[in-house]
Amino acid sequence: MATTQMVNLLEECRVSPATGGETNVSLALTFFDIHWLPFPPIQRLLFYEFPCSNAYFLETIVPNLKQSLSLTLKHYTPLAGNLLCPLGPGTPNSRYVLGDSVSLTIAESSNDFDRLTGNFARDADEFHAFVPQLPRVTEEPEYKIIPVLALQVTLFPNRGLCFGFTNHHAIGDASSIVGFIKAWASVSKFNGDSDLIESKSLPFYDRSVIRDPIGIDTIFWTQVKKFMVDSPSLALPTNKVRATYILQQVEIKKLKDFVLTKRPFLAHVSSFVATTAYVWTCLVKSGAAIGEEVDDEEPEHFAFTVDCRPRLNSPIPANYFGNCLGIVLATSRHCELVENEGFANAAEVIGKAIQEKVHKEGEILKGAENWLVQFESLFGKRVFGVAGSPRFDLYSADFGWGRPKKIEAVSIDKDGSISLCKSREFNGGLEIGLSLPKKKMDAFAAVFANGLKDL
């Protein structure tokens, strides 16, 4: 799966927040943030169909993007700053000081835009040239300094643009980062931040709303600081292909109805449960189809996050900037997922996990101090996860050229998660992104299609 990366670097620059904002911002990292410190960065791509010349790109689009980014960072100053992890006593914090900035790379590519924005299986390595790497970790006498955001804009002459986003998960969850991306798009489209300000969706930074009476932040920091190393870039080749699968609303309804027929005691099956359960079982069955040797009793784990903002005893504002995610884990046995009723079994265990952990008051943070220990216990186990959420519609991020033609979650190449978002083309539909070895992707495609035919 050798790939020729035809990308030319045009400019590397730094963009600082516009004047008039805060000049010094320090935010404590809560236990919701510290939990993500050892994890690799999140990488996203947004492709826009917008035919333009190299000259127009460099003389008009790039200056406008720099100006709009600077104005957006005025409201999102932590993204221009760094994470500070103490080398001695104390816990980490986020710090922005006047003069801090975000790395922005401007590039040009002769790669096939239409191929990259397709849904069919393509070499996963093709996409890595369009996402920037975070600047390296440095040290001050008292702190390890970790950059949190890097951006790249790549021109495909006379075809379109690609925006690459790389962020450290500890600075903010999908709600926060998608909020920033949409804010930048709004400022770019409307040539100013007045619409952003009037929308009353500016980020809320007050950390006092996160209550931590037992000091989980200190517990987590004690556990993770030994892993605080510079995150290496993913080694290429990945030996994977990536593809996108679409479930239309009518197909999701069929999945729901099938589960309720097989499990009538379930009061409700959401689109999330039906979709993730179906994909989970297709992944397990595709592994079996290509001869993966797994013991029948081997546990199969499905992990996903839940936004805690509206679910705490004292609800957190929806525009709270940072991480505010709870962890939910559904577990079954391998034999229960590969059998004929595997899909219904998967939907049952995911639905029960949500009912027990999310819908029951006070349960979402119960045992939160053990999250990292729980994660560590899953290393080397069979774990599937979800990146993204249909709640955050990046297809509405319009920089002035309409909706993105395609969204790709590049970081799923690293951990085997699936990406999940609203469908661009079908109202009520969902897009599922996968990155798998080609043999397994071929098997998945067959299992996925055949399963829908049998509903």
Question: Active site includes 398?
Answer: yes
Nearest to 149 by CA among 160, 138, 161, 164: 164
- Strand-pairing partners, residue 25, are 96
Give residue for tokens 């299609």.
Answer: 449
Nearest to 329 by CA among 394, 271, 375: 375
Catalytic residue among 112, 123, 398, 442: 398
What span, in angstroms and rounded, lies between the C-alpha atoms of 14 and 373?
Answer: 38
Contact present, 388 and 409 (Cβ < 8 Å): yes
What span, in angstroms and rounded, lies between the C-alpha atoms of 34 and 90?
Answer: 13
3-state secondary structure of 386: strand
Contact present, 337 and 275 (Cβ < 8 Å): no
Strands of the sheet with 406-409, listed across from one edge: 7-15, 102-109, 149-156, 160-167, 42-49, 406-409
Catalytic residue among 169, 173, 334, 413: 169
What span, in angstroms and rounded, lies between the C-alpha atoms of 132 and 148?
Answer: 12
Contact present, 178 and 131 (Cβ < 8 Å): no
Question: Active site includes 268?
Answer: no
List, as one string, the DSSP characters of 395-430: GG--SSS-S-SEEEETTHHHH-PEEEEE-SSSTT-E
Residues annotated as part of the active site: 169, 398
